Structure 1
């Protein structure tokens, strides 16, 4: 990977931040460009940052990670957020998705897997742990209201094909190559998918696809990372 992934860390555990920075800076294609010990400081600075990925702790003494997520969502910020927390709970997944976190992982994740998470979020927008996909599968029961679209807004066969590939975490370029269309055309179809389904991001499209049986959560569990 030739592109340098520029990363910010917001965490009040200075020792953890130092060790994590050393590890990430040791990767040829990654660089820590900013650190802060609280969310308030980050929110004052983030609009001037070159970072494209944020590694964010949930609980800090001054300015919580939740406050940061809420503000970034309100501002429709371009930075992609990986919530990396000691207080990881599977039951928090829904809230993290609602706040549009791009990944939610425990702080004790293996360093090599963290590299994979960062690369995946940078390239493909979202990363789900296998157990999180299983939670999605279990929670999307018949009791959960399904997303619906009016007949005039029904998905076309091409949109359905693109939706399936998005669920498999293919990039815009990769989808274009598979379907022999331009990346711009893929983006147009993705925009139409968001409008028709009423969801806001790729994670919402994944849920829509599972609920409407376009893809199976069990199939997603088998995807190679």
Structure 2
């Protein structure tokens, strides 16, 4: 990384925003360069500061995060935006991804996941929050959001079997017990699967597997 990741946060809840800002200010390689209380303030702020990654709440007064995202991407198609969401805003998350966001986080995400999301999106990858529900994953797959840029990788029969079990929320130990492999061997397969899919976590595996018919929505319920 040549320089710190320049980050801007937009959220109308000042206490949440200040807490997030304080936590991130202590992280190496992340530089908080500005804060905004709504989408309009965010657009004005980005006329005066350069940001590598923008984190914005979905619901804000004067201008919401989705409208702001569309406006930002009209000005700069390479803008890297992460949505901040409450757990019950699945339709809005999908709309935000369709508008051009590269990822989303639930507001109760832990510090490690927030930093992971910022780094992932900075590197021009898509980030799906770990707490993505099966319903949301299915909604994303059916939406206009289509992050796939490359040729779809092929998976071995064993990998396909493990993908299905990962999607069904089995742990590495449980998968190993089911298919007579050691936990370590399953973890090795899982690492290669994530690399092939270019995803970071189980949520990414579920979205990819649904999109490419490696598992059906009914099997997730």
SS at match of 1:8: strand
Aligned residue number for residue 110 of structure 2? 110
Aligned residue number for residue 44 of structure 1? 44
Tell me the TM-score normalized by structure 1. Answer: 0.60
How many Å apart are 1:33 and its aligned residue? 0.4
Cα deviation per residue 1:89-113 (whole Å; 9 max; x = unaligned)?
Answer: 2343321221111112211111221
SS at match of 1:78: coil
Contact 1:124 1:169 in 2 (8 A): no
TM-align CA RMSD? 3.5
SS at match of 2:46: helix
Cα deviation per residue 1:174-218 (whole Å; 9 max; x = unaligned)?
Answer: xxxxxxxxxxxxxxxxxxxxxxxxxxxxx9xx87x85454xx369
Cα deviation per residue 1:139-164 (whole Å; 9 max; x = unaligned)?
Answer: 589xx79xxxxxxxxxxxx94459x9
Q: What are the residue-to-residue correspondences of 1:1-225 with 2, within 5 Å?
A: 3-86=3-86, 88-130=88-130, 132=132, 134-135=134-135, 138=138, 159-161=151-153, 167-169=197-199, 211-213=211-213, 216=214
Tell me the TM-score normalized by structure 2. Answer: 0.61
Q: Output the CA distance in 2 between the equivalents of 1:83 and 1:99.
A: 11
Contact 1:6 1:53 in 2 (8 A): yes
118 and 63 in structure 1: CA distance in 2 versus 1, 3 angstrom threshold: same
Contact 1:134 1:217 in 2 (8 A): no
61 and 87 in structure 1: CA distance in 2 versus 1, 3 angstrom threshold: farther
- Counting matched residue pairs gives 166
94 and 25 in structure 1: CA distance in 2 versus 1, 3 angstrom threshold: same
How many Å apart are 1:56 and its aligned residue? 0.4
Q: Output the CA distance in 1 between the equivalents of 2:140 and 2:34.
A: 38
Gaps of 5+ in 2: 144-149, 155-192, 217-221
Contact 1:80 1:125 in 2 (8 A): no
Gaps of 5+ in 1: 146-157, 171-202, 219-225
Contact 1:2 1:29 in 2 (8 A): no
Q: Output the CA distance in 2 between the equivalents of 1:102 and 1:116.
A: 13
